[in-house]
Copies of this chain bind each other. A is one copy, B any other.
């Protein structure tokens, strides 16, 4: 990551791995402090079934835990586990002193209701930020534990020196995981926020006005160069497998020549998200320690 401020149209690549390393380094200091006080943070992940992608994502998260000194463990429930078994597992982890954060890896198999499971996680251990209490505090402007991908984008913008206040921000995608919580976080920072999605009639008319553009649509190459405002900061949340390659929602080769800065896929938003999960697990442990003291 260059220390030189980016100039419009120079097309800086936003190095997600480098940013993630910064977050991890910061987090490691906090984890060491917590450990010195006898409260080393612990992350418990839950996988239901044997989805290979879920197993891979959880492995990546555990590796990050190892790097920053967070204790980690995984509970693997069988493919046929019912909602009661999941809720029981969560309740057990809620009770445990040595578990600071609980992460239920999605998707769940079959008809299992992820909302019901996530609402059972102690909000103070909800390091993914999807519990209604945490989502509601976020919407009301009191951000505690929040969804990791939006938080990573906000963090990167701060790190890049982009002040959101008064900026035209456009988000493509209105999911519960990225689009809607990110919109709330950007409004909390006084950006003008537009949220587009598959039902939007004229997508380009919105994206061309964006000083900050975040694309989380799951459509390979959706955003072409002529849809981007010169000098924009572009975050590509898409992870799509196309012809054996992993590509984003942004036509990187075209957009890099127009934008001020773009995240690549892979190596952009992905690693940043994992590092924020570490930071939030430390935060959950810090909050617990503060409550004990207070």
Closest to A130 in B: B140
Instruction: Please tell me which one of the listed residues B130, B139, B193 contacts residue A135 in the complex, with CB atoms under 8 A apart.
Output: B139
Instruction: Please tell me which one of the listed residues B115, B141, B180, B194 contacts residue A194 in the complex, with CB atoms under 8 A apart.
Output: B194
Is the C-beta of A240 less than 8 angstroms from some C-beta in chain B? no
Is the C-beta of A200 less than 8 angstroms from some C-beta in chain B? yes
What 0/1 readout, one digit per residue, does chain A (185-229) give for beta carbons within 8 Å of chain B? 001001111111101110001100100000000000000000000
Find out whether the CB atom of A195 lies under 8 angstroms from the CB atom of B206: no
| Cβ contacts under 8 Å, A130 to chain B | 140
A206 CA to B193 CA, complexed, in Å: 11
Within 8 A of B (CB), among A127-170: 130-142, 165-166, 168
Closest to A183 in B: B183
A292 CA to B136 CA, complexed, in Å: 27
Secondary structure class of chain A's binding surface, majority of residues: mixed
A133 CA to B115 CA, complexed, in Å: 13
| Cβ contacts under 8 Å, A191 to chain B | 199
Is the C-beta of A176 less than 8 angstroms from some C-beta in chain B? yes
- Known contacts A197-B190, A206-B192; decide if A140 and B115 are in contact (CB<8 Å): yes
For chain A, the count of residues having a C-beta within 8 Å of the partner chain is 39
Is the C-beta of A174 less than 8 angstroms from some C-beta in chain B? yes
| Cβ contacts under 8 Å, A115 to chain B | 140, 142
Q: How far is the CB of A49 from chain B (nearest CB, A)?
A: 23
Closest to A192 in B: B200
| Cβ contacts under 8 Å, A201 to chain B | 166, 168, 192
A194 CA to B192 CA, complexed, in Å: 7
Find out whether the CB atom of A141 lies under 8 angstroms from the CB atom of B192: no
| Cβ contacts under 8 Å, A168 to chain B | 201
- Known contacts A132-B132, A136-B137; decide if A190 and B184 are in contact (CB<8 Å): no
Is the C-beta of A181 less than 8 angstroms from some C-beta in chain B? yes
| Cβ contacts under 8 Å, A166 to chain B | 199-201
| Cβ contacts under 8 Å, A209 to chain B | 205
Find out whether the CB atom of B195 lies under 8 angstroms from the CB atom of A192: yes
Closest to A123 in B: B132
Find out whether the CB atom of B192 lies under 8 angstroms from the CB atom of A199: yes
5 cross-chain pairs, A with B, having the tightest CB-CB distances, nearest first: A136-B136, A132-B136, A135-B136, A194-B194, A190-B199
6 A-B residue pairings within 8 Å (CB atoms): A136-B136, A139-B139, A139-B176, A183-B183, A192-B200, A192-B201
Contacts beyond the supplied A131-B136, A135-B136: 4 A-B pairs with Cβ under 8 Å: A115-B142, A135-B135, A136-B137, A139-B180
